[in-house]
Amino acid sequence: MWLRPTRYRSSNGNALQIEVPSVHFRDWIQSNCMDKIRDAVNQTHGTPLNVEFIVGSEIVGALSAEETATAETLPGVDHFSTPFNAKYTFENFIVGESNRFAHAAAMSVADPESRAYNPLFIYGGSGVGKTHLMHAIGLRLKEKAPHLKVLYATSEQFFNSFINTVYRAMQSSKVDPTSFRSLYRGVDLLMIDDIQFFIGKEGTQTEFFHTFNALYDAGKKIVISSDRPPMELTTLEERLKSRFMWGLNVDIQAPDLETRIAILTRKARAANIAISPEVIFFVAERVQSNVRNLEGALNRLQAHAALDNRSISMELAQGALVDLVVTPSGPKIQVDDINQEVCNYFSIRLHELIGPGRQKKYAMARHVAMYLCRKMTDLSLPDLAARFGGRNHTTVLHACKKIERDLQKDTNLQNIVNFIERAVRGANS
């Protein structure tokens, strides 16, 4: 991976020059392979030569280690074009207090005559309608001005496509990174979704920076979405962040109660789901976080009703959504709450639960705690591993699997787990 992209550049009596794709390659090779390289040069050449590295400036800016690693594993994908989701239109977008401003700005960008708000930077939590609005812009602009070139890419697609062309260009002179560049720089509107994914990917940021400048200078439109405002994209290059501030930054909040009711009503009607205003209110009051979860709740009600061949009553809703709904003021369940209840149950101390002790009593309690944390919080395995004394995340996975398996046959364990789970929920409400 590190050596294959290197090239012989030139040599004279004292020095051998090797071309490398980036400073990361140079640094890695210098700290890991210099002895072997010197030996090989010595053997081949007969006398020692200085080995110098030239960073192949004509190829690309520096790639981060993560980018280089990805380049190795990425299949040869070609340039893509994401078709817009025909349902993500402005007509289907329900406007409320939480998204009014973002919606208005998006409408303006979608107007071929308008030059306002460039770039438009939309940010907000997951499932609040960022992607929907971007698709709506694309669909509207294509409809009003079919000759315009509109490109929507997730930042992952941009990243993959960039790495692919650039990496292939490093390996073979036949691949030309300009194809990638002309694709992205030749559009009238470029939309990049979830830009927070660029964090830590320096080469991609540099490339995007140049893409941005080329488009901006040519008076083309740019729309970007992110899960947080530009200033909070901590390790994103300053020059990129400052460009994001040039245009308009708008946020989308979680929908308020009226909007949630409106969304549920509209979506139920569109899907031909018979549901009373009381049940809509019940769902809207309990599912607060985002629109995606509202849709999920509605789908679930419909599925339950279809399975049992019943209509959607309040009783059915209460049953079907029992684990999905969050009590309106109920705080999120924390790892600490779970661990505390586990410690109470097993009469051990927190440091014994988290610590390295392998006695059966600790190990059992630890497995139960890991299982419940996995079940009751939305932390990832690596996050959980970190909360359990920096263990490996596969340890957490094994613990969860083990408890899941044992729960199938061990009624005593079932009682323990249920008891602790109830205690956690009780302490939380």
Binding site for ligand ADP (CB under 6 A): 88, 92-94, 99, 124, 126-132, 263, 291-292, 295
Q: How far is CA 425 from the centre of its chain?
A: 29
Q: Decide which of Mg ion, ligand ADP, none touches 25; Cβ closer than 5 to 8 Å per partner kind.
A: none
What is the residue-wise DSSP string for 25-50?
HHHHHHHHTHHHHHHHHHHHHSS--E
Cβ nearer to ligand ADP, comparing 239 with 266: 266
Quote the DSSP letter at residue 312.
B
Q: Where are the beta strands (DSSP E) in 310-366?
A: none
376 CB neighbour count, 10 Å cutoff:
19
Q: How far is the CB of 295 from ligand ADP (least distance, A)?
A: 6
Q: How far is the CB of 190 from ligand ADP (least distance, A)?
A: 17
Buried b (16+ CB within 10 A) or exposed e, 83-119: ebeeebebeebbbbebbebbbebbbbbbebeeeebbb
- Identify residues 113-152 at the interface with Mg ion (CB under 5 A): 130-131
Cβ nearer to Mg ion, comparing 158 with 346: 158
Q: Decide which of Mg ion, ligand ADP, none touches 263; Cβ closer than 5 to 8 Å per partner kind.
A: ligand ADP
Contacts of 142 (CB under 8 A, 6+ apart): 84, 148, 150
Residue whose C-beta lies closest to ligand ADP: 129
Q: How far is the CB of 230 from ligand ADP (least distance, A)?
A: 17
Cβ nearer to Mg ion, comparing 26 with 267: 267
- Say whether 244 sits in a helix, a strand or coil: helix
Cβ nearer to ligand ADP, comparing 88 with 282: 88
Cβ nearer to ligand ADP, comparing 23 with 104: 104
Q: Are 424 and 345 in contact (CB under 8 A)?
A: no
Q: How far is the CB of 141 from ligand ADP (least distance, A)?
A: 17
Residue 53 tokens read as 């590295």
List for the chain the helix, strand, coil content (%; round to 5). 55, 10, 35
Q: How far is the CB of 263 from Mg ion (least distance, A)?
A: 16
Cβ nearer to ligand ADP, comparing 102 with 372: 102
Q: Decide which of Mg ion, ligand ADP, none touches 138; Cβ closer than 5 to 8 Å per partner kind.
A: none
Q: Decide which of ligand ADP, Mg ion, none touches 132; Cβ closer than 5 to 8 Å per partner kind.
A: ligand ADP
Residue 38 tokens read as 């010197």
Q: How far is the CB of 87 from ligand ADP (least distance, A)?
A: 7
DSSP lists the bridge partners of residue 19 as 7, 54
Applying CB under 5 A, the residues found at the interface with Mg ion are: 130-131
